[in-house]
Amino acid sequence: MISIIRANKLPTAALLYIILLIITGLAAPWISPYDPFHTNHQQKLLPPSIAHPFGTDYLGRDLLSRVIHGTSESVFPVFIVLSVVMLIGLLVGTWSAFLGNKLDMLMMSLTDIFTALPSMLLTIVVVGFLGFGMENVYFAVILSWWAKYVRIIRGLIHDVKKEPYITASRVSGAFGLRIITRHMIPNIMPQIGTMLILDVSKVILTLSGLSFLGIGAQPPSPEWGVMLLDGKNYLQVAPWMGFFPGFMIFLTAASFQIIGERLRRER
């Protein structure tokens, strides 16, 4: 155990950080020192100090409390978005590869169209139609990501299908759904898991990027992208306002990337 950690210092640190982040996000109401929405005009734009470790913003709100509360709005939705995307990918991709008939071809043409569309453009168009707000952004991101997962999972299942142990499992009396759930999916799970973790950082960047553009979460939400947008206007007077949320986005995205790369090397 210790030798594993010693050989993987950086991935271990990244993993620790992510565990800590998730705990912080879940326990936000109890551990944040101040109310993240409470404004105090006497204390606006204070630099980091012992009372306010991350400083305060232009309305006098405590930045540390806002960053802590922001975790549940910046990071947790990513897991939900990716779960939905993976579920769609598994259902459609497996079904498409397993049957492998004309529907498969139709499905692939459809995913071709979606992968060809620039995802940012698609998202902005969808939000433009449905209006601002986080729910619409999640929907738009799912819409621009599902095709990639369907294609990759279809490809993986297609390869696994040719393995001798799938033929052998038929002879052992496994058919249809049983082959898929017991013999195919467990064998492609390692690849999908690695891909998911690598994509977490991309989705974090997309979501906070959209908030930064002003089409995702709306103020006064403590979402990190929104906070970054606030900080942009005070970059000269109060650089800490942009630095801390931006740094959190960077750290989180980098941590998931490091773990994903490590897992990829494993295989």
Partner 1 sequence: MLEIQRLYKEIHGRPILQDIHFGIEDGESLAIVGESGSGKSTLAQLIMALKQPTSGHIFFDGRPLPSKGILSYREWYRDIQIVFQNTGSTLNPAMSLFQCLEEPLINFTRYNRAERKHKVLEYWGKVGLNENLLRNRPGKLSGGQYQRACLAKALLTRPKLLICDEMVSNLDVLLQQQMIELLISIQKEQGLALLFITHDLTLLPGLCSNIMVLKEGKQVELFSTSALYDEAERDPYTVTLLNSSKMFETAWNQWT
- Please, which residue, 151 or 183, has the CB nearer to partner 1? 183
- Please, which residue, 192 or 227, has the CB nearer to partner 1? 192
171 binds partner 1 (CB under 8 A): yes
174 binds partner 1 (CB under 8 A): yes
50 binds partner 1 (CB under 8 A): no
Radius of gyration, CA atoms only, the chain: 22
- Please, which residue, 49 or 181, has the CB nearer to partner 1? 181
- Name the nearest CA neighbour of 116 among 139, 148, 86: 148
Task: Give the three-class secondary structure for 204.
Answer: helix
Show the DSSP H helices in the chain as ranges: 2-7, 9-26, 28-31, 63-74, 76-88, 94-99, 102-116, 119-130, 134-161, 164-171, 176-178, 185-212, 224-233, 240-266
Residue of the chain from 47, 100, 186, 214 that contacts partner 1 (CB under 8 A): 186
The answer to whether the beta carbons of residues 204 and 249 sit under 8 Å apart is yes
Q: At its nearest, how many Å lie between partner 1 and the CB of residue 174?
A: 6
Stretch that binds partner 1, among 141-149, 160-168, 236-244, 257-265 (CB under 8 A): 160-168
Residue of the chain from 7, 50, 118, 175 that contacts partner 1 (CB under 8 A): 175
267 binds partner 1 (CB under 8 A): no
Q: What is the DSSP letter of 53?
A: T
Q: At its nearest, how many Å lie between partner 1 and the CB of residue 178?
A: 8
User: C-alpha angle with apex 257: 87 to 9, nearest 5 degrees?
Assistant: 125
Stretch that binds partner 1, among 85-93, 164-172, 208-216, 246-254 (CB under 8 A): 164-172
Distance CA 147, CA 114 (A): 6
Residue 45 vs residues 32, 40, 54, 238: alpha-carbon distances, Å: 19, 10, 11, 6
H or E element, residue 151: helix 134-161
76 binds partner 1 (CB under 8 A): no
Residue of the chain from 61, 183, 259, 260 that contacts partner 1 (CB under 8 A): 183
- Please, which residue, 121 or 189, has the CB nearer to partner 1? 189
163 binds partner 1 (CB under 8 A): yes
x/- contact string, 17-36, with partner 1 (CB under 8 A)? Answer: --------------------
- Name the nearest CA neighbour of 78 among 207, 178, 173, 184: 207
Structure tokens at 153: 């999972």
CB atoms within 10 A of CB 217: 27
176 binds partner 1 (CB under 8 A): yes
189 binds partner 1 (CB under 8 A): yes
Q: What is the DSSP letter of 47?
A: P
159 binds partner 1 (CB under 8 A): no
232 binds partner 1 (CB under 8 A): no
Binding site for partner 1 (CB under 8 A): 163-165, 167-176, 178, 182-183, 186-187, 189
